């Protein structure tokens, strides 16, 4: 049976509808994951949940141990991963509150442990990353969005920046010229490491704010929290419909 994992980002450190059965502390060859792995059931199906930034939301994006997180999920037999992420909207059609299922990504991060293939190799390994998200998982998320009746966009390019600071208006202008629709801080190397582990991984992005220079005044945490609160309610509805789709009869 295929096992589903949910990686929760900012605004999603727990899932109220998850019937928790146990929490498991794991140790990996890459160090410690962000926190305990939470096992439970949703809609009668087995689900594993991991808070990307830790249960207390204390781990900044550039300090997340992406390799350890994904190794732990792989070790538990996870095959499919839904990664929830809070992002900023760059294009006019990506306003705060929007749910987006991106299909492409551009990596602007640096200095992160971004691959499994760097030492004790028998040969140099290159992975195909033409389509960075698993099309099967994207299709399941899109189907769940449609079933829940939630307004969403089924494509877009996620620009992954280093953080933890937010971007300048000029940086966002450059990202838009590069073709980015969204900006976030955790999309890479999470997506590429998932591919190296041969995990079926896709992202559900919640637009929490306009990106820098796309609205009047500075970006505030009050604005972000307000949009995340309503956005995560929609994510919960998506999860309710998604879980059965990930476990075909």
Divide the 249 residues of the chain into consecutive groups of 10 and give the mean pLDDT of each group. Answer: 78 65 92 92 85 90 96 94 94 93 97 84 82 96 92 96 94 97 97 96 94 87 82 84 71
- Predicted confidence at residue 103, as pLDDT, reads 97
Residues of the binding site for phosphate: 10, 52-53, 186
For residue 116, what are its two tokens? 């499994």
55 CB-contact burial (10 Å; exposed 0-12 / middle 13-18 / buried 19+)? middle
Query: What pTM value is reported for the model?
Result: 0.90
Work out the burial of residue 211: count CB atoms within 10 Å of its CB; fewer than 13 is exposed, 13-18 middle, 19 or more buried: buried
Helix axis angle for 135-148 and 221-245, nearest 10°, is: 100
Token representation of residue 151: 């307004």
- Mapped onto helix, strand or coil, the DSSP state of residue 193 is helix
Neighbours of 232 (CB within 10 A): 22
DSSP label of 97: T
CATH number, domain of 93, equals 3.40.50.1580
What pLDDT is attached to residue 184? 97
**Structural domain count, the chain:** 1
Q: Residue 87 region, left (φ>0) first, then alpha (ψ -120 to 50), else beta?
A: beta
Predicted confidence at residue 124, as pLDDT, reads 75
* Known binding residues: 10, 52-53, 185-186, 209-211
SS3 of the chain: helix, strand, coil, percent, to 5 = 30, 25, 45
Residue 173: per-residue pLDDT: 97
Whole domain around residue 62: which residue ranges? 3-245
- Bind-site residues for substrate: 185, 209-211
d(CA 126, CA 8): 28
What pLDDT score does 89 carry?
96
pLDDT of residue 1: 46
């Amino acid at each position: 049976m295929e096992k589903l994992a949910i990686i929760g980002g900012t605004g999603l450190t727990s899932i109220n509808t998850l019937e928790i059965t146990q929490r498991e502390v794991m140790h990996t060859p890459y160090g410690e994951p962000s926190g305990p792995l939470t096992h439970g059931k949703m809609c009668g199906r087995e689900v594993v949940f991991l808070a990307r930034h830790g249960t207390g939301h204390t781990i900044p994006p550039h300090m997340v141990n992406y390799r350890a997180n994904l190794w732990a999920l792989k070790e538990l037999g996870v095959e499919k991963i839904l990664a929830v992420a809070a992002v900023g909207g760059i294009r006019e059609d990506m306003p705060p509150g929007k749910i987006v299922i991106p299909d492409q990504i551009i990596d602007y991060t640096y200095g992160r442990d971004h691959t499994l293939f760097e030492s004790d190799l028998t040969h140099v390994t290159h992975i195909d990353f033409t389509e960075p998200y698993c099309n099967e998982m994207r299709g399941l998320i899109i189907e769940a969005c449609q079933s829940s009746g939630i307004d969403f966009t089924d494509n877009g390019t996620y620009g992954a920046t280093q953080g933890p600071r937010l971007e300048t208006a000029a940086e966002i202008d450059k990202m838009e010229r590069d073709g980015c629709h969204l900006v976030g801080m955790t999309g890479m190397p999470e997506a590429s490491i998932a591919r190296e582990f041969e995990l079926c991984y896709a992202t559900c992005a919640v637009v929490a704010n306009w990106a820098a220079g796309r609205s009047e005044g500075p970006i505030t945490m009050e604005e972000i929290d307000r949009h995340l609160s309503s956005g995560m309610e929609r994510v919960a509805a998506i999860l309710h419909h998604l879980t059965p789709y990930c476990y075909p009869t």
